[in-house]
Amino acid sequence: MTNRQRILAVLDGKTPDRIPWIPRLKIWYEANRRAGTLPEQYRNLSLREVEREVFGGTAARDGFIYRTELCDVEIRTHQPAAMETLTEYVTPVGTVTARFRSTERLRRQGIQDAQVEFMLKRREDYAVVEYIIEHTQYRPAFEEYKQYEREIGEDGYPMVNC
């Protein structure tokens, strides 16, 4: 069985030939690739090739079936401090903010910033977030998904955000 067949068997309540092993190597691979510290046998391999070398599947976590578009919401991004990003969502009913932080080391390793402050902080923020949700358009991205699924092939089964 392929890793894809194993995953689908489990999802169908069937028993695969073995437990599907889909290690999430992307962060490890990218951090070590950037630092030049990948083990010798993996230095000239792509992430997909490393996954195959360790008998794992592809942790296909980057697929999407839609894209979102905010209507009548202005997004402003500020850098109030080093390693910090403040995002403002300005609407006719008010403004909310979200804050993200990182470190030099995490950015060097290609790891995304951590969200340390969320939009909802006060009672008044609920109306603003409700406005944002109501003014979010969802656009199908089925062709992009199908292409991503073809790229993953039998190495895994794409997970998507719903």
* Burial of residue 30 (number of CB atoms within 10 Å: 0-12, 13-18, 19+): middle
Return the C-alpha torsion angle 146, 151, 152, 155, nearest 10: 140
Give me the pLDDT at residue 137, please. Answer: 97
pLDDT band at 118 (very low <50, low <70, confident <90, very high): very high
% of the chain beyond a pLDDT of 70: 100
pLDDT band at 2 (very low <50, low <70, confident <90, very high): very high
pLDDT per residue as tens digits for the range 45-75? 999 999 999 888 999 988 999 999 999 999 9
pLDDT band at 159 (very low <50, low <70, confident <90, very high): confident
Give me the pLDDT at residue 161, please. Answer: 79
pTM over 0.85: no
* Neighbour count for residue 134 (Cβ, 10 Å): 10
- DSSP category for residue 153: G
